Copies of this chain bind each other. A is one copy, B any other.
Amino acid sequence: MVVRAAVAGASGYAGGELLRLLSAHPEVEIGALTGHSNAGQTLGSLQPHLRPLADRVLEPTTAEALAGHDVVFLALPHGQSAAVAEQLGDEVLVVDMGADFRLKDAGDWETFYGSPHAGTWPYGLPELPGGRAALAGVKRIAVPGCYPTAVSLALFPAYEAGIAEPEAVIVAASGTSGAGKAAKPHLLGSEVMGNMTPYGVGGGHRHTPEMIQNLSAAAGQPVTVSFTPTLAPMPRGILATCSAKARPGVSAESLRAVYGKAFADEPFVDLLPEGQWPATAAVYGSNAVQIQVAHDPAAGRIVVVCAIDNLAKGTAGGALQSMNIALGLPEDTGLSTIGVAP
């Protein structure tokens, strides 16, 4: 099988990571690479780590450039995917790494993004209940946000099992690549090194409704989410610390049993041995998910910590995993669970 893949938005961090992973995918042939302001430049000048592709030249993002592929990945700014996708036809698999088609509720979209809702595509988080079935053979995939990937994997087992109250509190730290490659003063190295700072506090982050959507579905009832993202002095990685009140009868053992069962057959999710805690460095560059759980009887809460690589499992790796499913390939084709450390 040869899967010919195009990447729209090849100059950014998500596009670059996708190309790194596609290069190692045995069934994929990399086709057109497109960009916007960088069209006409070589990839070598934009992504110097992608040496075998250094001489490839970015084309403008047009339907013509993207035509003739089996899969088209869209790594575009939010709000731009729909217009491109419409022109690609129903036969091509379109994988959107932006936010446009993640939310089911048009009102949520409009509240958080301030534009008309483009629609809802099959959601690319196979580990969720029913997640794999929803992706088999599809031609459209909405890749989850990086934070919702970590948080949903951390908490859906508790909500599915009914062991937690429907009020989640989440504080997550993200590496700076999550903020993208556009040059902004607060993202300068001089500003971020040695610095931890929150943003979007109090419910304002656009990933909040996506978390609510996933956790409410798992719980079978509305779940509220208090989400505080923080920017950490590292290029990659998300560490999500998630907690909720334990329902009566929950113990350390029952909590661990719920999670052990939820992830027993998952190729990418690792419920760590007791005593070992997730570390973003351990999943650097990999599609692995590290999870650990704790029951705090004094506070009456369960605490679940999850570490992922925001660009890999959190974006490009997750996209590839879902593509594999949609195309009928083994789910882990071209994806590694080995991180680059130290």
Show the binding face of A for B, using Cβ within 8 Å: 13, 16, 20, 23-24, 44-45, 47-52, 167, 169, 171, 173, 175-177, 179, 181-185, 187-199, 201-203, 208, 224-228, 230, 232-237, 239, 241, 243, 245, 270, 272-273, 276-286, 288, 290, 292, 294-301, 303, 305, 307, 336-342
A16 vs B47: C-alpha distance when bound (angstroms): 27
Contact A336 B294, beta carbon cutoff 8 Å? no
Q: A283's contact among B49, B171, B177, by CB below 8 Å, is which?
A: B49
Contact B279 A197, beta carbon cutoff 8 Å? yes
List 7 contacting pairs A-B, 8 Å CB cutoff, sorted by A.
Answer: A45-B276, A194-B280, A224-B300, A226-B243, A227-B299, A228-B241, A230-B239
A contact patch SS: mixed
Contact A198 B44, beta carbon cutoff 8 Å? no
Q: Select from chain B the residue with minimum beta-carbon distance to A229.
A: B241
Pick from A277, A292, A307 the residue with the most CB of B within 10 Å. Answer: A277
A272 vs B44: C-alpha distance when bound (angstroms): 9
Contact A295 B202, beta carbon cutoff 8 Å? yes
Q: A199's contact among B49, B243, B277, by CB below 8 Å, is which?
A: B277
A24 vs B295: C-alpha distance when bound (angstroms): 37
Contact B235 A234, beta carbon cutoff 8 Å? no
A50 vs B49: C-alpha distance when bound (angstroms): 23
Contact B48 A234, beta carbon cutoff 8 Å? no
Q: Select from chain B the residue with minimum beta-carbon distance to A283.
A: B49
With a cutoff of 8 Å between Cβ atoms, the chain B residues found around residue A236 in the complex are 194, 342
A232 vs B199: C-alpha distance when bound (angstroms): 17
| Least Cβ–Cβ distance between A302 and chain B, in angstroms | 9
| Least Cβ–Cβ distance between A11 and chain B, in angstroms | 10
| Least Cβ–Cβ distance between A181 and chain B, in angstroms | 7
A296 vs B185: C-alpha distance when bound (angstroms): 28
Contact B177 A342, beta carbon cutoff 8 Å? yes
With a cutoff of 8 Å between Cβ atoms, the chain B residues found around residue A307 in the complex are 196-197
A16 vs B339: C-alpha distance when bound (angstroms): 11
Q: Select from chain B the residue with minimum beta-carbon distance to A178.
A: B190
A10 vs B286: C-alpha distance when bound (angstroms): 20
A270 vs B245: C-alpha distance when bound (angstroms): 32
Contact B338 A49, beta carbon cutoff 8 Å? yes
Q: A48's contact among B181, B245, B279, B294, by CB below 8 Å, is which?
A: B279
